[in-house]
Amino acid sequence: MRTRYENLDGVSNKKTYKDMRRWMKERRSKTKDLTRQIPHVAEKEMDKLFHNKTLASITWVGHSTFLIQMNGLHILTDPVWAKRMGMQTRLTEPGIPIHELPEIDVVFISHGHYDHLDFSSIKKLKGAPIFYVPIGLKSAFTRRGYKNVVEANWWDSFESSGLRFTFVPAQHWTRRSLRDMNTSHWGGWIIEDSSTQKSIYFVGDTGYFRGFKEIAKKFDIDIVLMPIGAYEPEWFMADSHINPEDAIKAFKELDGNLFIPMHYGAYRLADDTGPEALERLYNEWKRLELEEQKLKVLSLGETLWITQHDQEQNS
């Protein structure tokens, strides 16, 4: 019998056919401006990124895909360059064309949903990366010929090139076929560099949950890559997708130093749009009178050079 994974406190994400019909009825009644989309950065730093082996950086490709460079490693999170997601066409082009990436050393997968795990994209990656995946997902890789795959349960840690990787909880679910509902887990990844005391928390896909407080007890969080989109309608999505206001609440509980939003503007997975998600994020940040320097909204293809950013904030 296959293992079925669960959320903390047994929170269920199951929805009924009646729920789906209600959502579709609501969607038909809404008017959304899909012509206004989030921007690409004016100038991309591809040559510097391609040859970088010493500087720490974070580049947003789009949705939940980041190119992270630390300790000479080229790391990807949830690499998805797909032009379509189900019946929907991708709304914004990826910030970096996949063929312009350097050789990848490490890939982190948060869970098995198609907008986070796209094997057609993975097949195009250069290099021979090691794949860190949630428990239950390894077989999906090995049957496709990938051998360098490490499964992780919540709180499992691994070390490589002076970095420590830990798989931490999220509140979500997963499914890739009719019969594999929740047969693999879901979560986020924390990357720690002990030499610089820097850490990056890639949250993955999640609703708001008490796990943020548990994570804060175990880790000193520096940079948080936090989802803010696919939350509408909230009566349907809240268990699985965090809204911008709760994303800020979670960031405060994590006591992080820098909030970088993600999971918005690439695919129409729910009824909200990328600009709407950003507007709510900015409004809540202003309402709470939070420090402006703790929020960094990256344009598609934009790179944050971590050391340079720290120096600018401390000057």
The stretches of the chain forming alpha helices (DSSP H) are 17-29, 46-51, 119-122, 138-142, 211-218, 234-237, 244-254, 274-287, 306-314
* Model pLDDT for residues 23-55, shown as the tens digit of each residue: 999 998 888 988 899 999 999 999 999 999 999
Distance between CA atoms of residues 184 and 134, nearest Å: 6
Distance between CA atoms of residues 29 and 66, nearest Å: 35
**What confidence score (pLDDT) does residue 315 get?**
60
**What confidence score (pLDDT) does residue 134 get?**
98
What residue has token string 């049957």? 143
Distance between CA atoms of residues 123 and 42, nearest Å: 29
Structure-token pair, residue 82: 């797909």
Sheet of strand 258-262: strand arrangement: 157-160, 163-168, 188-193, 198-202, 223-227, 258-262
Q: From its phi and psi, is residue 117 left (phi > 0), alpha (psi between -120 and 50) or beta?
A: beta
* Contact (CB, 8 A) for 60 and 226: no
DSSP state for residue 255 in the 8-state scheme: T
What residue has token string 């050391």? 307
* Contact (CB, 8 A) for 109 and 133: yes
For residue 220, give the 3-state DSSP assignment.
coil
Q: What domains are defined for the chain? A: 46-314 (3.60.15.10)
**What confidence score (pLDDT) does residue 178 get?**
87
**What confidence score (pLDDT) does residue 79 get?**
98
Residues 6+ apart with CB under 8 A from 249: 208
Asked if residue 3 has pLDDT above 70, the reply is yes
* Model pLDDT for residues 232-262, shown as the tens digit of each residue: 999 999 999 999 999 999 999 999 999 999 9
Asked if residue 195 has pLDDT above 90, the reply is no
Phi, psi dihedral angles at 220 (to 5 degrees): -90, 105
pTM: 0.96
* Model pLDDT for residues 271-314, shown as the tens digit of each residue: 999 999 999 999 999 999 999 999 999 999 999 999 877 767 76
